[in-house]
Amino acid sequence: MSKGQETRERILDRAFRSASRDGLVGLSIGGLAAELGLSKSGLFAHFGSKEELQIAVLTAAAVRFQEVVVRPAIRAPRGKARIRKWFDNWVLWLLDPSVPGGCIFMAAAVELDDHPGPARDFLVGSQRQLLDAVIKSARLAIEVGDFRKDVDCAQFAFEMYAIVLGFNHAKRLLHDPSAEKRARTAFDRLLSSATNPT
């Protein structure tokens, strides 16, 4: 790997953590450079604009999410096991101690929802993709016989996502010590409602 790529990744790693705390808007090129012992202009040259930097950070985060959550999930056996893997790894993602600033996607979602542009487009795309993947796993769970045939998979994915959001909120803002337990209880209820006849 060339020297340039190397520093670029060092920058993105730091920026990723920084943006988790302060958001994509809060990212400061000067501050980032100082933290990394680089010059502002030297760092800037890697991206060409702040918006490019933001997109690069989102992309790097998406790659990481893929590794931590998506890949392990779609490797798990189809059906309920895979659905559980989705949820478990998603929770792990939110609790990752190496990213104490919280989920960058949730921060970006709130920041960008009213700010059209390539950064928002990227975020929306990756979130849709995530939702679709969950929906697909739910469909497979039906095929495999773990879920009832009349389960609304998109609805299932919506509710699972909602639980994750609720967990994040309770944990990060309210510091609710039982946030994870609550989330798991909610998820179990959701899961069993997809399994058992009404």
- Within its chain, how far is the Cα of 135 from the centroid? 16
In the complex, least distance from residue 138 CB atom to a copy of itself, rounded to whole angstroms: 14
Q: Which residues bind DNA (CB under 7 A)?
A: 2-7, 27-31, 33, 37-46, 48-51
- Whether the CA torsion 107, 108, 113, 115 is positive or negative: it is positive
Decide whether 28 or 127 has the Cβ nearer to DNA. 28
Question: Would you say 194 and 156 are in contact if contact means Cβ atoms under 8 Å apart?
Answer: yes
Decide whether 57 or 140 has the Cβ nearer to DNA. 57
Place of tokens 């993602």: 93
Site for a copy of itself, residues 136 to 155, rule: CB under 8 A? 152, 154-155
**Residue 3 partner contact from DNA, a copy of itself, none using kind-dependent CB cut-offs of 5 to 8 Å:** DNA
Burial of 176: CB neighbours in 10 Å, binned 0-12, 13-18, 19+ = middle
Biggest CA pair distance of the chain: 62
CA distance 168 to 132: 21
| Residues forming the site for a copy of itself (CB under 8 A) | 21-23, 25-26, 100-102, 106-107, 109-114, 123-124, 127-128, 131, 152, 154-155, 158-159, 161-163, 165-167, 169-170, 172-175, 178-179, 182-183, 185-186, 189, 193
